[in-house]
Amino acid sequence: MRDIAGEKALVQRDKEMIPTRLLLAMVALVAIIFSFVVYAAVTDRPLEAGPPDLAIVKEREISIVADMSGAARVMTPEGALIADLSADEGGFVSGIGRVLHRERGKVGKEASAPIRLIQYSDGRLAIRDDHTTWRAELRGFGQDNEATFYRILNAN
């Protein structure tokens, strides 16, 4: 014997799970976003969502020697020590050093080449690597991590 009431309940439940119009709207949204991405890639459209490049107040070239333990050494391009950070202090700085090592490895550049630590007129701190396209706005990584780079920027 067929359970007609049970079959009707299953059909009704299936209709309520995802409305057809909602599913079509989601597919259309994905298609529109995909077309924007393809257009930007084909036309080499520049990135526009980055922070503004304001006047540079202070700039310093530094080299970071990172250790997997989290310890890091920050030096001038000439090799003078700016900061010797233990694993407890230098985790973020060491992470930046490892990212630079990986990014430079992708383009065949020397990992120990200096990067630019920049303070803009609005107080933002940023790291720029002139050897790759890599950059980091340090404000997004928390006050403590940004403060570490402020100390490095202002160290004698």
pLDDT digits (tens, 9 = 90+) for 16-70: 678 889 999 999 999 999 999 999 999 988 777 666 678 889 999 998 888 888 8
Q: Which domain holds residue 82?
A: 56-154
Residues 74, 123 within the same domain: yes
- The answer to whether 74 touches 93, Cβ cutoff 8 Å, is yes
73 vs 33, higher pLDDT: 33
Residues 60, 38 within the same domain: no
Residues 101, 67 within the same domain: yes
Least reliable range by pLDDT among 16-20, 82-86, 88-92? 16-20
How many independent structural domains does the chain possess?
A: 2
Q: What gap in Å lies between CA 133 and CA 148, rounded to an integer? A: 23
Residues 38, 63 within the same domain: no
Token digits of residue 109: 């550049």
Q: Is residue 49, in this structure, part of any structural domain at all?
A: no
Residues 111, 145 within the same domain: yes
Residues 91, 129 within the same domain: yes
Q: Is residue 51, in this structure, part of any structural domain at all?
A: no
What angle do the packed helices 91-107 and 143-154 form, to 10 degrees?
80
Residues 13, 63 within the same domain: no
In tens, the pLDDT along 4-19 reads 777 777 777 666 678 8
The amino acid sitting at 93 is V
Residues 33, 66 within the same domain: no
Give the pLDDT score at 14. 67
Indicate the average pLDDT of the chain. 85
Q: Is residue 132, in this structure, part of any structural domain at all?
A: yes
Give the pLDDT score at 45. 84
Residues 83, 37 within the same domain: no
Token digits of residue 108: 């065949």
Checking if the pLDDT of 112 tops 80, the result is no
Residues 67, 134 within the same domain: yes
Residues 130, 75 within the same domain: yes
Q: Is residue 67, in this structure, part of any structural domain at all?
A: yes
Q: Is residue 48, in this structure, part of any structural domain at all?
A: no
What confidence category does residue 154 fall into, taking pLDDT thresholds of 50, 70 and 90? Answer: confident
- Taking residues 66-78, report their average pLDDT: 87
Q: pLDDT above 90 covers what percent of the chain?
A: 22
What pTM was computed for the model?
Answer: 0.65
Q: What is the DSSP annotation of 1-32?
A: ---HHHHHHHHHHHHHHS-HHHHHHHHHHHHH
